[in-house]
Structure 1
Amino acid sequence: MVKHIQRFEEQLDIYLRARFTLLILITQEEERALQKIREVCERTRRHCLTWDIADGFQRLVGQGPLPVARDPLTALEQIDHTEAPTSTLFVLKDFHETWANPQIKRKLRNLAQRLKFTKKSILITTVTSRIPEELRDESVIIDFALPSAEELEEVLNRLTATPGVKVNLTPLGREKLVQAAIGLTASQAQRVFAKAIVEDGSLDDRDIDLVTEEKKQIIRESEALEFYPVTETPEDVGGLGVLKEWLRLREKAFTQEARQYGLPAPKGIGLIGIPGTGKSLTAKMIGGLWRLPLIRLDIGALFGSLVGESEERTRRALRLAETIAPCIIWIDEVEKALAHGGLDSGTSTRVFATILTWMQEKTAPCFVVATANDISALPPELLRRGRFDEIFFLDLPTFSERREIFAVHLRKRNRIPEDYDLDRLAAASEGYVGAEIEQAIIDAMYIGFNDNQREFTTEDILLALSRQVPLSRSQRETIETLRNWLREGRAQSASFREVTEAETQFVPIQLDFKKS
């Protein structure tokens, strides 16, 4: 697979000058791809003809008579027999629809071999990366990248140059509007810009949010990627002091200043631990802290029923994520998403391998946050250094963390934490995770609400706590297995060292592994 080290125009020119005879261009943007091909051929004085099943041969660049062919096999025969006194490129549109025909595949292979001694080359445009095995050795596969910021700015300039269009964009607003459109095709961007103009009759800085919302809807159609709002802050997450400090040190990691200093962009973190300890909330908090888009990768949505469809969806989703970078890619409960028991003819294994390779080799600033509850289901290659900068373990909250968690959830419900006995609540909730503490407050609110809507009290929360059976008791063996994983030194604790004797008796491993 060819990577985008060079611009497409440079790649195409090099391949044609090197007499590569069969090029396969994977793109959803046929119109923009043809425009780029036309520019290359005009600049290098090559002839270019296109063919499709509806209109036959059409001339894109150059002059002269056109071959006549209404079916794919005849089109290939015409390419074989057409005299080409100068370099000629034949662009075949949607030719992947014919690949089920063995005769056409054989003819393509014959042509790819014979054209090496001519001035002719074939380029096939297709929306799918499923290439017949017979053609892989004969062809060069090129992924046509989504438009860059410069190309999107050209789209915007052409639209705003239209007579009657009012533009009230500041220079910074124009830059942000283009950045908001990154990740869209040129056609999608043009439609979004046009909608912004039509809605209020002009284009101004207020339309940035509109473009962002439209972009979210379009990307959501990819099925595997979903934007999440980034409203959470570190103040909304109780405890996890070590993890928060680690994140704050990297808050400016994606800035130009960091690049000039020589810092590489961080790759990501793994959040492993007990259910309900705030792993998903932490992923959302990172987006708010770093002010970066948070995108959830739904790996389950990558799987399709057709052969090769899952791998193609995976590559498309990862490419799309890179175009939005810098961003945060959140993979929730990764052990479930990447369960690959070999019962699907190896599809899960191939999808898993594609994601692992991308995590290792990606150069785009995509910070991966992978959360997991079941350590035993995680393949060891996922947790290897190089894919993550750090693996954090989220344990049962300590006394001070539970106190902070109570304060956070009381503030969220417009209560003053100082009106409650936080020390007493923290002591009574030993062994409870954050989600269980939050539920205890909600249950206490119901108690107060149904008692003539009086204000709920510390006693109400204590009563609600006493009625719960925390996970640390109901799933004692499972929780102990998870905590043994930290005891073995396989991850860094996400919390500060505990200092109270009572806590260390309940959580003995925290004295050894939690760092302040």
Structure 2
Amino acid sequence: MTESFGDTLVTYLRARFPLVVVTTVEETRAVEVIAAAAQETGRRCVTWDIGGGFGSLSDGPGSSGGPVPSITDPAAALEHIIRTSNDDMSVYVLKDFHEFWKDVLVKRRLRNAAQALRRKRATIVVTEVTGKVPRELTDEAVALEFPLPTDEELARTLDQLARQAGVKISLTPLGRSKLVRAASGLTRVEAERALSKVFVTDRRVDDNTIDVINEEKKQILRETQAVEFYPAHETPDDVGGLDVLKNWLRLRERAFSPEAAEYGLPAPKGIALVGIPGTGKSLTAKMIGGLWRLPLLRLDVGALFGSLVGESEERVRTALRLTEAIAPCVLWIDEIEKALAAGGLDGGTSMRVFGTILSWMQDKTAPVFVVATANDITSLPPELLRRGRFDEVFFLDLPTERERRDIFTVHLAKRRRLPAEFDLDRLAKASVGFVGAEIEQAVIDALYGAFADDGRDITTHDVMGALARGVPLSRSRREVIESLRDWLRQGRAQSASFAEKTLAESSFVPFEID
């Protein structure tokens, strides 16, 4: 039984609340908890649905007992509850009652029933999935959201299914913790479905099971176009440089584990990656998901805005609710400054959407690690980057010579070339002012040229030629880049590359080629 929800419901029953509305998609599990709460308070639990009418789940010592009537009409069912309310001690669970919210007669009868049951021993519990209570009922009803299974419940589900299927669990304590954490955010049925799939195919539970669980979570995201599931296979080796940032992430790799919580560590909230375009901010977000073996979700800020009044705000709430359902996860908000792109020309919608995201980042308790990237820091309000919303703000600068050498190594190896066959020092010196994306493009351009020349392999000279033809952003937009780097010099962020930032080595030098 879900302890916090069950205890709350028991309190409401003992306080004789007449109407409780429970929002959940887990009807079976919710009814189990409601029936347990009814039994604890000495009441019988009676369910009702339009297909089968009334059905008794349990009898309480003080209930009227006896057979329940076969009434399938919702208005008649409510009338029956009103007629028997004087000496009744039942908890009536009305399933899918949100389907009748627009029926004026049913809504009036439900309101009458709530008023008739006030201070009596019978209670109506409505289960529904919309999360919306009609305005006429808000004064009569208390609304509760049924929580998803806890880690303890998911662990019991894993053990129970494994025993039933005769499947071996080959996991270390840490691996088991990671698996249960990966299943967090799924309903019990969803978790059972994902685990059953593993039992049928592999006949064992190991670290690979986490990937299957994440695939199950991916299906949940089909409810919204604003959140996209990203496969995250990148590792720190796929990102050149950024040593300070990588070390920061490695120290927090186990931060979402129960051991960390027992130690007294709070789950990290997130980081902001600001700086020069093309320096690897998006790649870093993908790398975090791969390093921590967590689902990576990308929030498309542009897809949050709709044309109808209130639609944008509802979309952002839905997206954030789904994100929390999938937690623990990494939420990547790419180019977060786009949320403010409309300024005041959209009736304040962008400000409300942005405010909703900010409030959620500040108050969220779900283990969602936010990675927000930004190129245009001038459009960001100061309250976004303050401590409390992010654990750290990192600035991604122009790569140093050593970092450029690492970046060449990554991209040559990625295209099945041996980095040792290239003069990496010469390439690093020749690419002063180039960001990672521009270095990658230089390697690709060299490959195109060599492929057109009878498919020969590329050489250092080919890459040098591609660099010579390229115009780096640090030259074409020198003023913009320098203003960004001035922002770092003012001490507003931590460098992703240096523990103590000095710009001497990485400052802009006019481009020259041998």
Q: TM-score range by the shorter chain?
A: 0.7 to 0.9
TM-score scaled to structure 2, two decimals? 0.84
1:184 to 176, 183, 186: 186
2:9 to 6, 9, 12: 12
Following superposition, the deviation at residue 322 of structure 1 comes to: 4.2
Pairwise mapping of residues 133-282 of structure 1 onto structure 2 (< 5 A)?
A: 133-156=135-158, 159=161, 165-170=165-170, 172=172, 180-199=182-201, 202-203=203-204, 205=206, 208=209, 211-212=212-213, 214-223=215-224, 225-282=227-284
Aligned length: 501
Q: Residues 501 and 310 of structure 1: is their aligned pair in 2 closer, same or farther, counting only changes over 3 Å? A: closer
Classify the secondary structure of the residue corresponding to 2:277: coil
User: Pairwise CA RMSD of aligned residues?
Assistant: 3.5
Cα distance in 2 for partners of 1:355, 1:6 equals 30
Cα distance in 2 for partners of 1:296, 1:397 equals 26
Q: Please name the residue that 2:448 is paired with.
A: 446
Cα distance in 1 for partners of 2:207, 2:244 equals 39
Q: Residues 55 and 300 of structure 1: is their aligned pair in 2 closer, same or farther, counting only changes over 3 Å? A: farther
Classify the secondary structure of the residue corresponding to 2:186: coil
Following superposition, the deviation at residue 282 of structure 1 comes to: 0.9
Following superposition, the deviation at residue 199 of structure 1 comes to: 4.3
Q: Please name the residue that 1:359 is paired with.
A: 361
Following superposition, the deviation at residue 91 of structure 1 comes to: 1.7
Q: Residues 503 and 161 of structure 1: is their aligned pair in 2 closer, same or farther, counting only changes over 3 Å? A: closer
Following superposition, the deviation at residue 126 of structure 1 comes to: 0.9
Pairwise mapping of residues 366-381 of structure 1 onto structure 2 (< 5 A)?
A: 366-381=368-383
Supply the AA of the counterpart residue of 2:125.
L
Cα distance in 2 for partners of 1:251, 1:277 equals 23
> Which deviates the most, 121-130 or 426-435?
426-435
Give unmatched runs, 5+ long, in structure 1: 508-516
Q: State percent identity of aligned pairs.
A: 59
Classify the secondary structure of the residue corresponding to 1:221: helix
> Which deviates the most, 433-442 or 179-188?
179-188
Cα distance in 1 for partners of 2:46, 2:314 equals 29
Following superposition, the deviation at residue 354 of structure 1 comes to: 3.9
Following superposition, the deviation at residue 157 of structure 1 comes to: 5.3
Following superposition, the deviation at residue 317 of structure 1 comes to: 5.0
Cα distance in 2 for partners of 1:206, 1:503 equals 41
Following superposition, the deviation at residue 278 of structure 1 comes to: 0.2
Cα distance in 1 for partners of 2:136, 2:291 equals 50
Following superposition, the deviation at residue 437 of structure 1 comes to: 0.5
1:30 to 27, 30, 33: 27
Pairwise mapping of residues 72-471 of structure 1 onto structure 2 (< 5 A)?
A: 72-102=74-104, 104-156=106-158, 159=161, 165-170=165-170, 172=172, 180-199=182-201, 202-203=203-204, 205=206, 208=209, 211-212=212-213, 214-223=215-224, 225-299=227-301, 314=316, 317-319=319-321, 321-322=323-324, 324-336=326-338, 351-471=353-473
Supply the AA of the counterpart residue of 1:423.
D
> Which deviates the most, 285-294 or 21-30?
285-294
Cα distance in 1 for partners of 2:257, 2:298 equals 23
Q: Please name the residue that 1:513 is paired with.
A: none
Contact 1:395 1:493 in 2 (8 A): yes
Following superposition, the deviation at residue 413 of structure 1 comes to: 2.6
Q: Please name the residue that 2:62 is paired with.
A: none
Q: Residues 220 and 354 of structure 1: is their aligned pair in 2 closer, same or farther, counting only changes over 3 Å? A: same
> Which deviates the most, 204-213 or 378-387?
204-213
Contact 1:87 1:120 in 2 (8 A): yes
Contact 1:68 1:78 in 2 (8 A): no
Following superposition, the deviation at residue 123 of structure 1 comes to: 1.3
Cα distance in 1 for partners of 2:190, 2:156 equals 14
Cα distance in 2 for partners of 1:312, 1:64 equals 46
Supply the AA of the counterpart residue of 1:211.
V
Q: Please name the residue that 1:48 is paired with.
A: 45
Following superposition, the deviation at residue 253 of structure 1 comes to: 3.1
Cα distance in 2 for partners of 1:308, 1:95 equals 25
Following superposition, the deviation at residue 249 of structure 1 comes to: 3.5
Cα distance in 2 for partners of 1:204, 1:504 equals 51
Following superposition, the deviation at residue 440 of structure 1 comes to: 0.2
Contact 1:130 1:312 in 2 (8 A): no
Following superposition, the deviation at residue 281 of structure 1 comes to: 0.9
Following superposition, the deviation at residue 427 of structure 1 comes to: 2.9
Classify the secondary structure of the residue corresponding to 1:211: helix
Contact 1:130 1:308 in 2 (8 A): no
Contact 2:339 2:354 in 1 (8 A): no
Q: Residues 473 and 136 of structure 1: is their aligned pair in 2 closer, same or farther, counting only changes over 3 Å? A: farther
Contact 1:129 1:312 in 2 (8 A): no
Classify the secondary structure of the residue corresponding to 1:37: helix
Supply the AA of the counterpart residue of 1:12.
L
Classify the secondary structure of the residue corresponding to 1:328: strand
Q: Residues 403 and 157 of structure 1: is their aligned pair in 2 closer, same or farther, counting only changes over 3 Å? A: closer
Following superposition, the deviation at residue 432 of structure 1 comes to: 1.7
Supply the AA of the counterpart residue of 1:100.
K
Cα distance in 1 for partners of 2:207, 2:84 equals 56
Following superposition, the deviation at residue 462 of structure 1 comes to: 1.7
Supply the AA of the counterpart residue of 1:89.
V
Supply the AA of the counterpart residue of 1:357.
S
Q: Please name the residue that 1:511 is paired with.
A: none
Following superposition, the deviation at residue 422 of structure 1 comes to: 2.7
Q: Residues 193 and 421 of structure 1: is their aligned pair in 2 closer, same or farther, counting only changes over 3 Å? A: closer
Classify the secondary structure of the residue corresponding to 1:184: coil
Give unmatched runs, 5+ long, in structure 2: 60-64
> Which deviates the most, 106-115 or 272-281?
106-115
Deviations 1:89-111 (A, max 9, x none): 22222222222345544544454
2:494 to 489, 492, 495: 492
Deviations 1:460-490 (A, max 9, x none): 1121122223223344454344334334433
Residue 58 in structure 1 maps to residue 76 in structure 2: no
Deviations 1:402-431 (A, max 9, x none): 222222222323333343333332233222
Q: Residues 379 and 5 of structure 1: is their aligned pair in 2 closer, same or farther, counting only changes over 3 Å? A: farther
Q: Residues 313 and 502 of structure 1: is their aligned pair in 2 closer, same or farther, counting only changes over 3 Å? A: closer
